[in-house]
Amino acid sequence: MRSTTRQCEALNLALSSPPTSYRGLIVGTDLLSGQLVTHDPFIAYEDKVISSVNAAVIGDVGKGKSSLLKTWACTRQLLLDNRRVVVLDKKLQAGVGEYTALAGFLGAPSIRFTVDGRGSRLNLLDPAITLGGDEPDDADGEGGGSGLSRPTGQMMLLRAVLGEALGRPVSEREGKALRLALVAATRDARERRRVPVIGDVVHHLLNPTPQDAASLDRRQRELQEWGLDPAFALERMIEEDLAGLVDTETSLDVHLDHPSGFTHFDISGLPVDGPALRVVMTLINTWQFNMLAARSTLAQQTVNVIEEGWHVAEGSVGAIFRRNTKLSRGLGLATIAGFHHISDLPENSPARSLLQEAETVFIYGQGSLDDAAACVDLYNLPAGTEETIMALEQGTCLLKVGSRDPVLLRHERSPREVVLTDTDAALTGVAHGRAT
């Protein structure tokens, strides 16, 4: 019998409501209703669905976390106006970071840091990295009324790096000697019309000026003693752990403004043990934080993707990430991090704090009941969800947005995205045995 669409509506007596708002980026398909699932943290915040734009992706190895991060958190984000993506890539694949192929597809360079001197360099004292705005050298009586100015964030970074080198907090006297050396190094470098480097600070720690000593009513020898341990620690670090990384001027390829909107920091070549990884990540995040603060009036939004979130669990890196997540509203910054298991993270770690701050959570399969139960407990999921989490197949997950009920979804990818997220043959031109 012939009819019309409007008349046949009466025959469908059970209509399910959509699992999410239509506003957002496509994530996948709701496995219960078959409807499209869309979500974007910034749009959800605008719609008053969530109060935090930070997101977490949790699941065992091989369950599909990387595919979601590379598509929904990277390439699809770039479809929106005024949206930028910055990736901290620690995942090694075929000798380079896993996102190298994705960066190549988008036409963006991969900024690779290594400890062999062959990678990119990021000057610890580069004015572009430090906090926006300037502060007089003599703001606390140390500059001798020279009127010279320097970026305010350099001292914070030096303290963080020196703390890593010393393995302990910087003492008050060491901090005073360090600040005086920084002022002197900056002054000398400007007189020579160049950017100061950390070696200049080491020189002035070992050779304080008589004027600096007199300003503290101390002998020059005594001020030198205050700076000996910092000088030797920084000298060892830039000659051993950080050689070729932070001790010279910043490489020309290191910038956050690529026209593609995508910035790929390849840190897969840095060792997990030692300070190199933590120092470089601290520099990158401080640089990004300060640039976003300067652009806060431009309504630009940035997505910061961390493939291996456990790297932010401790040290100066953790403090930077904790600060960024708590200031995400004013910065227009969404931090999206991938984790394997909640139980891997200490209760008081910054990484655990990042998980708690996230109001968009993708939970992939967990093989352990304890790990599944930790997800249920942290995100207040319905009782019995543990079994669902343990039974999730590859490519399927639970999406929890704010206080709304979780959605069981299958992450959908286009044929091109399948190739881009293929960790075995990404962008080789061959996918599943055929050219693309």
The 396-401 sheet, strands edge to edge: 36-39, 25-30, 407-411, 396-401, 360-363, 55-58, 333-339, 301-306, 83-89, 262-266, 110-112
Q: Which residue has the higher pLDDT, 117 or 33?
A: 33
Enter the tokens of residue 42: 């910034």
Enter the tokens of residue 149: 């100015």
Shared domain for 275 and 403, answered yes or no, is yes
With the CA atoms of 239, 243, 247 and 251 taken in that order, what torsion angle do they form, in degrees rounded to the nearest 10? 160
Query: Per residue in 154-210, pLDDT tens?
Result: 787 888 888 878 888 889 989 888 988 998 888 888 888 888 888 899 998 998 888
Of 208, 239, 270, the one marking the end of a domain is: 239
- Residue 286 pLDDT > 90: no
The pTM of this model reads 0.80
Angle at 268 between CA 266 and CA 272, to 5 degrees: 135
- Residue 311 pLDDT > 60: yes
* Cβ atoms within 10 Å, residue 346: 11
Shared domain for 76 and 31, answered yes or no, is yes
- Taking alpha carbons only, the member of 415, 76, 108, 412 closest to residue 261 is 108
Range of the domain at 342: 18-120+253-435
Contact 125, 153 (CB under 8 A): no
358 found inside a domain: yes
pLDDT of amino acid 254: 81
Tell me, rounded to whole angstroms, the distance of Cα 393 from its chain centroid: 28
Shared domain for 299 and 216, answered yes or no, is no
158 found inside a domain: yes
Shared domain for 317 and 357, answered yes or no, is yes
Shared domain for 273 and 422, answered yes or no, is yes
Residue in the structure block whose two tokens are 């590379």: 70
Integer Cα distance of 107 and 248 in angstroms: 27
With the CA atoms of 88, 394, 373 and 333 taken in that order, what torsion angle do they form, in degrees rounded to the nearest 10? 30
Of 204, 239, 274, the one marking the end of a domain is: 239
pLDDT of amino acid 381: 93
Shared domain for 156 and 293, answered yes or no, is no
Shared domain for 257 and 363, answered yes or no, is yes
Of 216, 239, 262, the one marking the end of a domain is: 239
145 found inside a domain: yes
159-163, 293-297, 360-364: range with lowest mean pLDDT: 293-297
- Residue 396 pLDDT > 90: yes
Shared domain for 425 and 296, answered yes or no, is yes
Contact 146, 187 (CB under 8 A): yes
User: What single-letter DSSP state applies at residue 382?
Assistant: P
3 found inside a domain: no
Phi, psi of 230 (to 5 degrees): -60, -40
232 found inside a domain: yes
Q: How many domains does the chain have?
A: 2
Integer Cα distance of 138 and 144 in angstroms: 6
300 found inside a domain: yes
State the amino acid at position 46 in one-letter form: E
Shared domain for 173 and 290, answered yes or no, is no
Query: Per residue in 234-260, pLDDT tens?
Result: 888 888 877 778 878 888 878 777 888
Shared domain for 111 and 43, answered yes or no, is yes
Residue 371 DSSP SS3: helix
354 found inside a domain: yes
Shared domain for 50 and 112, answered yes or no, is yes
Shared domain for 155 and 267, answered yes or no, is no
Residue in the structure block whose two tokens are 């699932």: 37
Mean pLDDT of 369-396: 94
pLDDT of amino acid 360: 95
Give me the residues paired with residue 348 across strands.
none
We report the CATH number of the domain holding residue 303 as 3.40.50.300
Query: Per residue in 143-152, pLDDT tens?
Result: 443 334 343 4
Residue 332 DSSP SS3: coil
Enter the tokens of residue 402: 């704010």
* Helix intervals (H) in 10-99: 41-46, 65-70
